[in-house]
Every structure is written in C-alpha cells, then in structure tokens.
Amino acid sequence: MRRWVLVILRCLLAGMATNVALAWALVLTIRYEGRMGGPTVKVVSVVMPDAADPDHVWGVLQSRRFGSMGHSARSSAGPPDVMAQLRPDLVPSWSRLNNPPRSVTPTERLYEDARGWPMLALHCGFRSVVGRPGHQLLDGIRVRAHPDGSTVRSIALPLRPIWSGFAVNTVVHAAAIGVLVLLGSRVRRVMRRRVGLCVHCAYDLRGLAAGACPECGATARPPADPPPQAREAGCYGQIQDSILNLARNRHRLCS
C-alpha cells in the first residue's frame, strides 16, 4: 500500500512538472507576432467596464491558438452607447480585467498571456501606460523584451496558476506518466522471467530450484535450463543471450 502511495505521489509531481514545462514550451513555440490576429487565430472583441472607474471601459481583443489565449486591452472613456453593449462574460474569471490595475493616467494597456494543455494552466501579463516607454511584467519570468517596447512581441514564462486548469492538467499528465510506468514495469518483468532472472531484483535464478529468491527473498519460480542443443538458434537466441549477460553484469556491478 505504501509503495503505491509513493508511486502516485511521484506521478503527480511528475505531472505537475510536465504541466509547467508544457506551458512554457507553448510560450516559446506559439507566438502572437506583430498584431494579434491572423488566419489561424480566433479573435473576439470585448468591451467591459472598469471596476475602479465607471466612466472608463476596457476594449479587449481576445485571441486564441492551440494551448494559448491572449488579451490585448486598452482603457478609454466609455460613452453611454458603448456601455450599453458590454460583454464582460466573454472574459474568463482568471483575467486581471475583472479587477484591472489603475494608474494615474486615464489610458493604459494590459496584455495577458495564458498557456497550457489540455486546459490553460498558467498566465502572466504586461502593463504599460500609453505615451510612456517600457512596460511592467506581471507574474512572469522575462525571457525577451522587444526593443520597441511591444508587449505582444515580448516573451515571458508565466508563473500565475489558473487553478482549475492547473489541477486538471496535472492529473491528466500524471495518469499518462503512470500508464507508461506500469507498461515499462510489466515489460521488464516479462523480459526478466524469460531469461531466468528474478522479476524483482534481476538475480540470476537459472539452475536453481523453485522457491524464494536468495537475493531479495521474493517468491520465484525460475524456468528450467534448456539443453544447449534445444536453445533457439539464430538471432533470437543471440538476443536472449545478450539480455542475460547484460542483466548479470548489471547485477554484479550493483552488488
């Protein structure tokens, strides 16, 4: 029981690491170069109110690609006719636009970048004030700052979790890793049994009576040694001999 608990914990840790690594890999491989949009990008335009200032709204351009979502937003004054057409429901709950930062100037830009697969798991942001050079990085590790100050062309590895997606992705990746571990363990046991080794510790059981392994104490039933003339000829027999020799050498080195 304890062994299985440790295996599950290790798979979850490996799944978490895979989740983060995949999100960061998507940052480096799938980019929104230049203007957000294009034939491979799904774009949604959203106007939503500023929670801190009812006289301003945020115009949001939402772009989606495989394993990613980007928001390019700009604050501005919101006349009544625009305020009547608000669609804040299109902005996800994790977005900073639900509680946007405020500056001393009335106009600023906010760019958000979320990554992950099969669900979005991590996100970061860039904040800048219109008319001022540079930008502020929010919850990310800077990889590249574009010379012209463009937030879309700058690259950062996201650090802020989207908890629902992060949990789902971790479980999915952990399950996939667990399946690979089980398959590898099964193949290893079958190969050891075929060449007459203990399936647990790889001790050479050829020629020994059935019973407990003298090395680890596990119950073992070694196959009977076939006479040399009955051993399969050709490449298959040579492969069996090679596997047996490698296993023996490994056991000697470890003992």
102 has pLDDT over 50: yes
State which of 118, 152, 168 marks the end of a domain.
Answer: 168
Residues 210 and 160 both lie in one domain: no
Q: Quote the pTM value.
A: 0.71
Percent of the chain with pLDDT over 90: 26
Asked if residue 204 belongs to a domain, the reply is yes
- Residue 124, amino acid: C
Measuring CA to CA, how many Å separate 129 from each of 49, 57, 107, 140? 18, 15, 7, 19
Q: What is the 3-state secondary structure (H, E, C) of 70-131?
A: EEEEEEEECCHHHHCCCCHHHCCCCCHHHCCCCCCCCCEEEEEEEECCCCCCEEEEEEEECC
**Of the residues 133, 168, 203, the one at which a domain ends:** 168
User: What confidence tens digit (pLDDT) does each residue in 37-47 have?
Assistant: 444 455 566 66
User: Looking at the domain assignment, is residue 187 inside a domain?
Assistant: no
Residue 231, pLDDT score = 47
Question: pLDDT class for 253, splitting at 50, 70, 90?
Answer: low
Residue 37 lies inside a defined structural domain of this protein: yes
225: DSSP letter: P
Mean pLDDT of the chain: 76
Q: Name the domain count of the chain.
A: 2
- What's the rounded Cα separation, in Å, for the pair 173 and 16? 8
Note whether residue 141 is domain-resident: yes
Q: Which two tokens stand for residue 104?
A: 């001393």
| Model confidence band, residue 238 (pLDDT cutoffs 50, 70, 90) | low
Whether 155 and 48 map to the same domain: the answer is yes
Distant-in-sequence, close-in-space partners of 163: CB < 8 Å, separation ≥ 6: none
3-class DSSP state for residue 53? coil
H or E segment to which residue 57 belongs: strand 56-65
pLDDT of residue 34: 45
Say yes or no to pLDDT of 25 above 80.
yes
Residue type at 90? L
Q: pLDDT value at position 155? A: 86
Statement to judge: residues 6 and 126 lie in one domain: yes
Q: Does 127 share its domain with 200?
A: no
pLDDT at 65 over 90: no
Instruction: Please check whether residues 104 and 38 belong to one and the same domain.
Output: yes
| Cα–Cα distance list, 5 to 12, 216, 226, 250 (Å) | 11, 22, 40, 28
> Using CA atoms in the order 240, 241, 247, 251, what is the torsion angle rounded to 10 degrees?
150
Which of the 8 DSSP states describes residue 228?
G
Structure tokens at 70: 């980007």
- Taking alpha carbons only, the member of 159, 116, 121, 122 closest to residue 137 is 159
Residue-level pLDDT at 78:
64
pLDDT value at residue 51: 60
Is 227 inside any structural domain? yes
Q: Cβ(30)–Cβ(70) under 8 Å?
A: no
> What is the SS3 assignment for 16?
helix
Residues 128 and 231 in one domain: no
Closest Cα partner for 112 from 145, 77, 156? 156
Lowest mean pLDDT across 47-51, 173-177, 251-255: 251-255
> Which among 168, 183, 213 is the end of a domain?
168
In this structure, is residue 184 part of a structural domain?
A: no
Task: Please name the amino acid found at residue 158.
Answer: P
Give 175-198 pLDDT, tens digit per residue: 999 999 999 888 888 888 888 888
Q: Are residues 52 and 158 in the same domain?
A: yes
Give yes or no: residues 74 and 36 share one domain: yes
> In terms of domains, do 28 and 100 share one?
yes
Q: Is residue 183 part of a domain?
A: no
pLDDT category, 82, cuts 50, 70, 90?
low
Q: Is residue 114 domain-shared with residue 225, that is, in the same domain?
A: no
179 in a domain, yes or no? no
The whole-angstrom separation of Cα 243 and Cα 245 is 6
User: Both 73 and 164 in a single domain?
Assistant: yes
Q: Answer whether residue 86 shows pLDDT above 70.
A: no
Looking at residue 84, what is its pLDDT?
47
Q: Are 27 and 153 within one domain? A: yes
Domain range holding 158? 2-168
